[in-house]
């Protein structure tokens, strides 16, 4: 490893310590550079911008894609024999990869200080073409890529086989040129690796352990209970889950416990859920600090029917001592078991029954919270995961990216 090098983090959203799962994962990698290396953050905001009130993790250079600039850069790449073959093999790139076009590499390179060597880490598969073009442009000493999740599998499960095929081609063409790859879920890391013949390391999501006192579990008494759903409410699976929770599950829970039950939906939204606002449903929008939200919640509920990667918001709930009821899809990728760290439920009626159980059975809830908290501390806290990220970078520093074959990749 070159101690004089700096790590450039290339991300599709600004890193942040809370609020957005991808922003939080970007911050996790940004905050764990190899020893002796400074970090420079470059953001091409194709995955969205943080709300104005968000607490940014660090200063970042933000490069907004410009179509003409990207097109000119792509034409230049297409004139290079190696890149013309890569682009032909990749075919039509996924939309986010087209937005974060490899043709922007020249513009990004011009923003970087040329004074010291560069190591490059990119977030998400769709940033791979741009990351590779930038790495070659600046002569990066090593490059790594965090896939985060299995985009191809998620696209296929969502009924979009063409998008799934585009992601598979993207990884086939570009992933072998990175010194190391990672994913948040062990199962997805293994699946992607087997599909493409690649080594994909498991680097789990992680959350900060709160210092504030946690609220005691609901005692089953007469006081009202508060259910909580936290997530990006512009993300279609979260939108569907929030609607199911408000319209079907919440009334069923109220019927079961015979008391006042409220629901708080927390996260940036685009007005699609405005009709849900009611006396028992609060649409809170984006909140930069979630500590008070978790402290006032009696249960976190995540009835997602489709998901990928690992649900970092479940880890936050565990860390804050809030019991969790979730679908298998929402909990996939986490080392959890039904009845130990959370309750799993796959349909609205079962979900309502599980929520009622954590609201009325104090001993059950206390056990879930204690085991979930222990799991976060030992497996999913920043303190537990940071050494794994530094080891991931250290291994990459000793691996040279695959050299392009003559006339190919």
Question: What is the model's pLDDT at position 368?
Answer: 97
With 0-12 CB in 10 A as exposed, 13-18 as middle and 19+ as buried, what is 193?
A: middle
For the chain, what is the domain count? 2
Q: What is the pLDDT of residue 9?
A: 95
Residue 148 φ then ψ, to 5°: 70, -65
- 70 and 197 inside one domain: yes
Residues 388, 363, single domain; the answer is: no
The pLDDT of 196-202, averaged and rounded, is 96
pLDDT single digits (tens) 230-282:
988 888 888 999 999 999 999 999 999 987 999 999 988 888 888 888 889 99
> Among candidates 147, 232, 237, 227, which has minimal Cα distance to 195?
147
Residue 289: which pLDDT band, with cuts at 50, 70 and 90? confident
Cα Rg of the chain (Å, integer):
22
74: domain CATH number is: 3.40.50.2000
322 and 178 fall within a common domain: no
Whether residue 217 is contained in a domain is answered as: no
Is residue 405 domain-resident? no
**Strand, coil or helix: what is 335?**
coil
Is 40 in contact with 6 (CB distance < 8 Å)? yes
- What confidence tier does 375 reach under pLDDT thresholds 50, 70, 90? very high
60 and 180, same structural domain?
A: yes
DSSP letters of 36-92?
Answer: T--EEEEE--TT----TTS-BSS--EE----HHHHHHHHHHHHTSHHHHHHHHHH-S
pLDDT reported for residue 405: 47
Q: Are residues 69 and 142 in the same domain?
A: yes
Nearest-angstrom CA–CA distance, 273 and 294: 21
Residue 140 included in any domain: yes
User: pLDDT grade, residue 20 (50/70/90)?
Assistant: confident
CA distance 381 to 313: 13
What is the per-residue pLDDT for 407?
42
Q: Which two tokens stand for residue 211?
A: 């210092």
**Domain for residue 257, yes or no?**
yes
Q: Are 300 and 293 in contact (CB under 8 A)?
A: no
Task: Please tell me the distance from the alpha carbon of residue 306 to that of residue 291, in angstroms, as a whole number.
Answer: 27
The helix or strand, by DSSP H or E, that contains position 118, with its residue range, turns out to be strand 118-123
Averaged over 1-27, what is the pLDDT?
A: 84
Q: Which residues pair with 8 in a beta bridge?
A: 40, 120
Secondary element (H or E) of residue 181: strand 180-183
142 with 84, same domain: the answer is yes
How far from each other are the two terminal CA atoms of the chain, in whole angstroms? 25
378-403: pLDDT as tens digits: 999 999 999 999 999 998 988 444 55
Answer yes or no: do 40 and 179 share one domain.
Answer: yes
| 309-352 residue pLDDT tens | 557 889 999 999 999 999 999 998 899 999 999 999 999 999 99
Residues 6+ apart with CB under 8 A from 240: 304, 305
Say yes or no: 187 and 286 in one domain.
no
403 lies in some domain = no
Of the chain, the percentage scoring pLDDT greater than 90 comes to 65
Domain assignment of residue 327, given as a range: 225-380
pLDDT value of position 409: 39
pLDDT of residue 18: 81
| Spatial separation of the C-alpha atoms in residues 391 and 395, rounded to whole Å | 6
Q: Give the chain's mean pLDDT.
A: 89
Do residues 244 and 344 both lie within one domain? yes
Are residues 265 and 128 located together in one domain of the fold? no
Residues 263 and 143 in one domain: no
pTM for this entry:
0.88
Tell me, what's the pLDDT at 310? 55
Q: Are residues 41 and 148 in the same domain?
A: yes
User: Which residues have a Cβ under 8 Å from the Cβ of 351 and sit 6 or more positions away?
Assistant: 249, 301, 303, 325, 327, 345
Band of pLDDT at residue 222, cut at 50, 70 and 90: very low
């Amino acid at each position: 490893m070159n101690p004089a090098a700096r790590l450039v983090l290339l991300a599709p959203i600004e890193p942040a310590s809370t609020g957005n799962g991808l922003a939080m994962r970007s911050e996790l990698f940004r905050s764990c550079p190899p020893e002796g290396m400074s970090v420079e953050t470059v953001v091409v905001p194709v995955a969205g911008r943080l709300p104005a009130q968000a607490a940014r993790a660090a200063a970042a250079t933000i490069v907004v894609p410009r179509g003409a600039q990207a097109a000119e850069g792509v034409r230049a790449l297409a004139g290079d024999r190696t890149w013309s073959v890569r682009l032909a093999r990749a075919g039509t790139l996924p939309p986010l990869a087209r937005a974060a076009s490899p043709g922007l590499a020249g513009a990004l390179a011009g923003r970087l200080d040329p004074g010291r060597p560069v190591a490059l880490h990119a977030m998400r598969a769709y940033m791979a073409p741009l990351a590779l073009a930038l790495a070659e442009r600046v002569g990066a000493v090593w490059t790594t890529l965090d896939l985060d999740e299995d985009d191809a599998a998620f696209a296929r499960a969502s009924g979009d086989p063409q998008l799934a095929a585009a992601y598979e081609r993207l990884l086939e063409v570009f992933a072998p040129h990175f010194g190391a790859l990672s994913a948040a879920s062990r199962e997805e890391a293994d699946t992607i690796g087997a599909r493409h013949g690649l080594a994909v390391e498991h680097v789990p999501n992680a959350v900060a352990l709160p210092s504030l006192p946690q609220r005691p579990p609901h005692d089953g008494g007469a006081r009202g209970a508060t259910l909580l759903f936290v997530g990006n409410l512009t993300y279609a699976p979260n939108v569907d889950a929030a609607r199911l929770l408000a319209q079907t599950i919440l009334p069923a829970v109220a019927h079961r416990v015979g008391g006042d039950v409220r629901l708080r939906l927390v996260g940036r939204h685009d007005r699609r859920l405005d009709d849900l606002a009611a006396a028992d449903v609060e649409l809170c929008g984006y909140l930069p600090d979630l500590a008070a939200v978790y402290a006032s919640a009696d249960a976190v509920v995540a009835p997602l029917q489709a998901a990928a990667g690992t649900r970092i918001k479940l880890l936050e709930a565990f860390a804050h001592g809030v019991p969790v009821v979730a679908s298998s899809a929402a909990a996939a990728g986490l080392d959890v078991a039904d009845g130990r760290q959370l309750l799993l439920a796959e349909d609205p009626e079962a979900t309502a029954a599980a929520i009622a159980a954590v609201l009325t059975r104090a001993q059950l809830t206390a056990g879930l919270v204690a085991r979930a908290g222990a799991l976060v501390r030992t497996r999913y806290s920043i303190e537990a995961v940071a050494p794994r990220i530094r080891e991931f970078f250290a291994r990459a520093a000793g691996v040279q990216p695959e050299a392009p074959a003559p006339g190919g990749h």
